[in-house]
Amino acid sequence: KRKGFIFDLDGVIVDTAKYHFLAWRNLANSLGIDFTEEENEQLKGVSRVRSLEKILDWGNKSISQEEFDRLMAHKNEEYLAHVDRMDEDELLPKVAETLEYLKEQNQAIALGSASKNARRILEKVDLTDQFDAIVDGTDVSKAKPDPEVFLIGAKALDIKPEDCIVFEDSVAGVQAANIAGMVSIGIGDKYVLHEADHIFRDFTELSKDFLQELIRK
């Protein structure tokens, strides 16, 4: 059967979460706000605007719209400086092989990312051509856990939501996949991602037999 396999980007295909972390931490600290790994976890899959709103909330700070825009632009520049140094070596383990395998099996493949920088990152790691559809932060108006990004992906692939499988590293993303009625596969920590239908540390733990099962069901 032809299924739709939808991949999140940050934290699933590449570990750009560490670059987001560095840039957000610098921003928070410059405002005198503490920023830890736990807080970073809550920003995964969350849009840029919403992320800054949350940080300001945690620090009990309010700033003008102008300052808000300036900080967001600055954060993105810092983040992109890291991104522009990326290459294929930064692909997470067995991601390229998994995409390759699904392609061989004639499965439909989409990207479903909240990032407005998604296309730039895919170019850096030379993966653009592997996707039948790319849905990113420039295509959606509602952030995960809203299912919009994945529903647009399913539509673009012309596959019913219930025949789609989503790979996600964030709590918000797993929730979005569940709300969309898709199979959710958490990539990461099993306690953090406990709402997912299946959880793996990374793609090295995910066997071909398991992928076959997803295709057959």
Indicate which single residue of 5, 6, 7, 11 sits in contact with Mg ion (rule: CB under 5 A): 11
Residues 6+ apart with CB under 8 A from 118: 9, 111, 134, 136, 137
Give the binding-site size for ligand B16 (rule: CB under 6 A).
Answer: 20
> Which residue's C-beta sits nearest to Mg ion?
11
Using CB under 6 A as the binding rule, whether residue 183 contacts ligand B16 is answered as no
Q: Tell me the DSSP string of 174-213.
A: HHHHHHTTPEEEEES-TTTTTTSSEEESSGGG--HHHHHH
- Smallest gap from residue 174 Cβ to ligand B16 (A): 11
State the minimum distance, in angstroms, from the CB of residue 16 to ligand B16.
7
Of 8, 136, 163, 169, the catalytic one is 8
Amino acid at 80: L
Is the CB of residue 195 less than 8 Å from the CB of residue 171?
A: yes
- Name the minimum Å distance from CB 83 to ligand B16: 8
Interface map 98-127 toward ligand B16 (x if CB under 6 A): ---------------xxxxx----------
Q: Which does 51 bind (CB under 5 to 8 A by kind): ligand B16, Mg ion, none?
A: ligand B16
Q: Which residue has the tokens 């934290």?
A: 11
Which positions touch Mg ion (CB under 5 A)? 8, 10-11, 45, 169-170
Which positions touch ligand B16 (CB under 6 A)? 8-11, 20, 43-48, 51, 76, 113-117, 137, 170
